[in-house]
A and B are shown apart, each in its own frame.
Chain A
Amino acid sequence: MSLIARAIEEAGIPTLSMSSARDITRSAWPARSTYLDFPLGHTAGRPHMPELNRAIIRDTLSAFETLSVPGSMSHLSYRWDENDQWKDKVFAPAEKSVDSDHQKNKNNGYEDDRVARHDTPQYQTEADELAAFKSHGDEECEICIGIDF
């Protein structure tokens, strides 16, 4: 994502990148960024909490006018919960248990929870697949750009 941010900035449009992975964003180094200390998958807030999500976006957008050093990051103050316990479990090996199977042992305690890299469209629902089929027909779609399968 930061490659895209850097390219747009270079093309003459100011950009701001949201982040909930501080070290990854620092390494990629976009022009402006805001850091929200939430678990991955919640870059812009929490489900069904519109007021919180508006506050996050309001504070984020303010960084367009407050950040003045190229490549700098502003930290938002919001917390996910009271004790930050979620942080201990992120990408950590599964806790050793008596009945842990061979696979877990073989993988040094890590569980392989990654989804297979399918090379065909992965619809959320079957109805979406039908809707896509219906709306596309034989025509080339102008809003699904660069499809390579």
Chain B
Amino acid sequence: MSSGMQDRLPPVDYIPRITAQYAGLGYGEYRWLASETQPAWTPLTKPLSECRLGFIATGGIYASGQTAFHFKDDTSYRAIPNSIATEELRATHFAYDLTDARKDINVVFPIEALKSMVEEKKIAELGPNSYTLMGGIYSTRRVIEDLIPSLVQRVLDDELDVVLLVPV
């Protein structure tokens, strides 16, 4: 019959697929974060168009001149000035296909689209920096003890009104 858009397949369920793959390869089970309590909720206190937005991305993004991430539970992060030229941005990671991210970093680090949102007055402005990290960290304890307090303090110091998170 006619071509064109076919019915959609449902979203991929990653947890059972990755669990099966790890079992097939003989790896230990990865413990997915399963939050049992409803998340805290902070309402916006002004229209989005008046908000200063910060963003945090996993995906192992760094700027040329910075130290790259390593692949063994790296809980460090990088502050990337939002004034940086896009060509200076790099991606390094063990867990996803980097092909498209290295063609155009915007697929995992939407800096250009966010700058357009300022021009469109969808948001008021961007914070001074974006923050980047690895994700895929096995030790929840290290994320809670080493990474989160420092990163939350940065976000508070930047006086952001809203934060966008872009995982991979």
Which residues of A are at the interface with B, using a C-beta cutoff of 8 A?
A: 1-19, 21-25, 27-31, 35, 37, 40-48, 50, 53-54, 56-58, 60-62, 64-65, 70-71, 79, 82-84, 87, 90-93, 107-110, 112, 114-125, 127-129, 131-132, 134-136, 141-149
Contacts and interface: CB of A to CB of B under 8 A. Distances in A.
A14 B38 CA distance: 15
Contacts of A109: 24
A144 B48 contact: no
Contacts of B108: 41-44
B82 interface: no
B34 A28 contact: yes
B75 A71 contact: no
B112 to A, nearest CB: 6
B64 A70 contact: no
B72 A118 contact: yes
12 contacts: A3-B33, A3-B143, A8-B155, A30-B39, A45-B110, A53-B106, A61-B117, A90-B12, A93-B24, A131-B65, A144-B78, A146-B146
Contact of B67 (A27, A61, A121): A121
A31 to B, nearest CB: 4
A27 B32 contact: yes
A84 B8 contact: yes
Nearest to A128: B64
A119 B65 contact: no
B167 A27 contact: no
A36 to B, nearest CB: 10
A145 B155 CA distance: 14
B68 to A, nearest CB: 4
Given A9-B41, A58-B122, 8 more contacts: A6-B39, A15-B165, A16-B164, A29-B39, A31-B41, A45-B113, A70-B41, A118-B71
Contacts of B26: 107
A90 B101 CA distance: 18
B35 A64 contact: no
A88 to B, nearest CB: 8
